[in-house]
Structure 1
Amino acid sequence: MEVDPKEQLDLAKERVIDTIAHNMNLYGITDSVGRLFGLLFFSNSPMTLDEMKDELGMSKTSMSTSVRNLMDLKMVDKVWKKGVRKDLYQAEEDWYQTFIDLFTIKWRPAISMNVSSIEKSMKELKILVKREDIDADIREEAQQLIEKLYSCLAYYRWLSKLVDSFESHEIFEFIPRYDEKQ
């Protein structure tokens, strides 16, 4: 029995959309927001909130929130089309840039927060190590912790440089983009 070509086309798109939605959890993005990105990615033209709502069966409020989340992550852009009064949205089609934006948006604040916490703790521990009026074991443990925190700082400085290499696209000098059409 031959499969209907339209059905086969829809099945192929749906399979990829499901996988995108599932894997968005890696970036702290819900399945429904991932499905929306997949829908917009496979859409041949920008879509309105109403069109997205009808396609995915979500409320307009939920759809609006999801689109806003994707825009904050630079995965979706609002576009203008002559003669259309409603807002239109389309997915960023450059997956390399989408990953870069996602990665840097998520990692910059995490790096900053961790470095700040480590530096504050190191300052307190250094004061503790200098105190003569506390147990030598506590001073020794504080000194060992300082050494561990230096390693952590080195890691976050490396991670910051990695994020920089993504933002500057220098990463592509070491790991070039692929063109799968070859």
Structure 2
Amino acid sequence: MDTNQERILEKAQERVIETLARNMDLYGITMSTGLLYGTLLFQDKSMTLDEMGEALGMSKTSMSTGVRTLMDLNMVEKIWKKGTRKDHYEVNLDWYQNFIDLFSVKWRHASEQNVHSLKKSLQELRALQQSEELTDELRERVELSIRRIENGLDYYLWLSRLIDSFESHEIFQFVPKKESDS
């Protein structure tokens, strides 16, 4: 391949890598971890932390943190490579599953935290609602807050079912991976 063709290939890959990194930021993934993911995506072989650091001009520590994050999200996996003691990593090429894992982990964690807070507040408000010392105005405000929290809990039940539909791949019955060419 001549130098001009190589530049075109590299520029196209760099554009995708940068775009992926920026988009992953929407899900709370740092730009450097997104760049690492994108870099691994275009490799035709697994990479060590040293190789990743060299490719991105970043420290081995940064690469280790990024790889750990991506492994926690099931977007990268450690693989065994015969004849070497260093760990090698490669990206999971299933973009659908990567999204599902990323979405599910992040949203389920946030949902569980929010549900915990809502339930705790609901318990406190129901106890307060039983107080005979409440003014009518304060009782109305407590009851309004209870209704809004119950509405929020209904939402989080729905969100949990949505996450379940992603994890079970049931979502693909409603939104197929690829539209048919009909």
Which residue is 1:153 aligned to?
Answer: 153
1:26 is aligned to 26
C-alpha displacement of 1:179: 7.4
User: Are residues 179 and 60 of structure 1, via their aligned partners in 2, closer, same or farther at CA, if it must alter by over 3 Å?
Assistant: farther
TM-score (norm 1): 0.94
2:63 aligned partner = 63
Partners of 2:14 and 2:179 lie apart in 1 by 23
Q: State whether residues 77 and 89 of structure 1, in contact with CA within 8 Å, keep that contact through their aligned partners in structure 2.
A: yes
How far 1:5 sits from its partner (Å)? Answer: 0.5
Q: Which residue pairs with 2:73 in the alignment?
A: 73
**Residues 136-180 of structure 1: CA deviation (Å, up to 9, x unaligned):** 111110001111111101100000000000111100111010279
1:100 corresponds in structure 2 to 100
Segments of 5+ residues of structure 2 without an aligned counterpart are: none
Structure 1: runs of 5 or more not aligned? none
SS at match of 1:4: helix
Q: Does 1:37 align with 2:40?
A: no
Query: What is the distance in 1 between the residues matched to 2:170 and 2:7?
Result: 42
Question: How large is the RMSD of aligned CA atoms in angstroms?
Answer: 1.8
SS in structure 2 at match of 1:119: helix
The structure 1 segments of at least 4 consecutive aligned residues displaced by more than 4 Å after TM superposition are none
CA distances 1:7-40 after superposition (whole Å, capped 9, x unpaired): 1111110010010111111110111110000000
Q: How far off its partner does 1:84 sit?
A: 2.5
Q: Which residue number in structure 2 is paired with residue 131 of structure 1?
A: 131
In structure 1, the partner of 2:166 is 166
Query: Given residue 54 of structure 2, which amino acid in structure 1 is its aligned partner?
Result: D
Percent of residue pairs identical: 54
Amino acid at match of 1:7: R
- 2 CA distance for matches of 1:130 and 1:98? 48
Superposed counterparts of 1:8-27, under 5 Å: 8-27=8-27
Q: Is the 8 A contact 1:129 1:140 kept in 2?
A: no
